[in-house]
Amino acid sequence: MKTDSIFYRLFQEFPNIFFELIGNSLETATNYQFSSVEIKQTAFRIDGVFLPQTEEQPIYFVEVQFQPDTEIYSRLFTEINLYLRQNQPKNDWLAVVIYPTRSIDTAQTTHYRESFASGRVTPIYLNELGENPSLPIGIATIKLVIENEDKAIQEARELITRTNQEIASVPQQQQLLQIIETILVYKFPNMDIEEIQEMFGLSDLKQTRVYQQAFAEGERRAKLKTVPRFLALGLTIQQIAIELDLTIEEVSEAAQQQPSS
């Protein structure tokens, strides 16, 4: 299963899930922007970085590790130190490594024990988070990744029901249901997307007018997020509007909102 891409999508669309996972308040997420960061002129890439809006809040480095790797910590600290050297942030930093189970965490921590003892680096084991019905819906969605097929069927149905009951925003419902659907596609590789939608009642949901409107809005927002990338390639506002099937006004507004360098 491509867990890195699933977690990237989860944290990008629902950053509050990460802060829920580490025991912080949900409001903290509003002060952070999540992205994957490539260390310049090296082969290193950090799975995810939560960058704060102010210097008083720490940077959070996130690694997702679903296979045993005896070099995970030496690589993680190298990546972090290179990032700090290249970017010179004034913020403090913390790191979180997400494992499916404790047994996957096989790397030696001898050289980094002070960082673990102080809480600067925190490993999280998904199978030790508790039973899904008692967990917040975001964390329960993360746990769906590690469930076996039989349990995943039951948990997914419960999550779909909870999503419709607990999330008031229709666009957010649509986003989370899409993520649940993506996890199921990876967990049941012998089933096509239509079979999965039928099995979990997602096909009926997607026929509703409200869902289709929310999906269209989600697609529009996804397109707008790509505007800075097209601008960096040298395309004009008009060219981007044609390429993405957006209005010039929409592209212009997205261009004005990108951070200045």
- pLDDT value of position 6: 86
Kind and range of the H or E run holding 35: strand 32-38
pLDDT score, position 210: 45
Q: What is the tens place of the pLDDT at every residue in 20-37?
A: 999 998 889 999 989 888
Q: What is the pLDDT of residue 46?
A: 83
What 3 state SS string does 67-85 have? Answer: CCCCCHHHHHHHHHHHHHH
Exposure pattern of 80-106 as b/e (b: 16+ CB <10 Å)?
A: bebbeeeeeeebeebbbbbbbeeebbe
Angle at which helices 170-187 and 137-144 cross, to 10° = 20
- Per-residue pLDDT, 221: 76
pLDDT at 225: 81
Predicted confidence pLDDT, tens digits, the chain (261 residues)? 567 788 888 898 899 999 999 999 888 999 998 988 877 766 677 889 999 999 999 999 999 999 999 999 999 999 999 999 999 999 999 999 999 999 999 999 999 999 999 999 999 999 999 888 889 999 999 999 999 888 888 898 899 889 888 888 877 888 888 888 888 888 888 887 788 888 777 655 454 444 455 556 667 777 888 888 788 778 888 888 888 888 888 888 888 875 544
Strand pairing partners for 121? 95
pLDDT tens per residue, range 209-255: 444 555 566 677 778 888 887 887 788 888 888 888 888 888 888 88
- R_g (Cα) of the chain, nearest Å: 20
Q: Where are the domains of the chain?
A: 3-191
DSSP-based three-state secondary structure for 125: strand
